[in-house]
Amino acid sequence: MLSAQTGDGVRDLRRWLLTMARPGPWRVSAGVSHVQPPLVIASEVIRSHIFRCFRKELPYTLMQQNLGWTEMRNGGVRIDQQLLLPPKNGIGGPAKASTRAIVERRLPMVGKGAGIELSEVLGRPVSLVLSIGTQGPADTMGL
């Protein structure tokens, strides 16, 4: 068992990683902190706030869909993203009312925290717009 919170198993993981590492050239320059596009970074920041705000309730069933990335005149960016809820019957249709209610109640916390972090990470003002939708059959099949 590995736990970053208690440190359990971290020593074993470190030992394993060191045995698996092979000498070679660095693939990324020392000054580069990341090589991901800003939209991917934004999705990951939002996902991390989903996990913080929902904890054990729903984060594994929610999907994210990027709807828009709009450059603003003031140098900021507007990011539109939809959180997709699983359909009630698994094949389409509306989500369970209780699931939707939980997401609606916690969505403002996700948006506020993620918006603040995104402004810091991207180094400019961010207007984050989150909405709720329902996964369709193609979404549940991973298409």
Calpha distance 44→61 (Å, rounded): 16
Residue for token pair 């993620």 = 114
Mapped onto helix, strand or coil, the DSSP state of residue 131 is strand
Calpha distance 43→128 (Å, rounded): 11
Contact 54, 104 (CB under 8 A): no
Phi, psi at residue 127, to the nearest 5°? Answer: -105, 110
What pLDDT is attached to residue 59?
A: 57
What pLDDT is attached to residue 87?
A: 77
Q: Give the pLDDT confidence of 77-95 residue by residue, as tens digits.
A: 999 999 988 877 555 555 5
Q: Give the pLDDT confidence of 15-25 residue by residue, as tens digits.
A: 999 999 888 88
Q: In this prediction, what percent of the chain has a pLDDT beyond 90?
A: 48
Calpha distance 90→17 (Å, rounded): 39
User: Residue 133, exposed/middle/buried by CB under 10 A (0-12, 13-18, 19+)?
Assistant: middle
Choose between 61 and 69: higher pLDDT: 69
Q: State yes or no: pLDDT of 142 exceeds 70.
A: no
What pLDDT is attached to residue 78?
A: 97
Contact 143, 96 (CB under 8 A): no
Calpha distance 60→106 (Å, rounded): 15
What pLDDT is attached to residue 91?
A: 52
Calpha distance 102→109 (Å, rounded): 12
User: What pTM value is reported for the model?
Assistant: 0.68
What pLDDT is attached to residue 127?
A: 96
What pLDDT is attached to residue 68?
A: 95
Q: Predicted confidence band at 131 (pLDDT cuts at 50, 70, 90)? A: very high
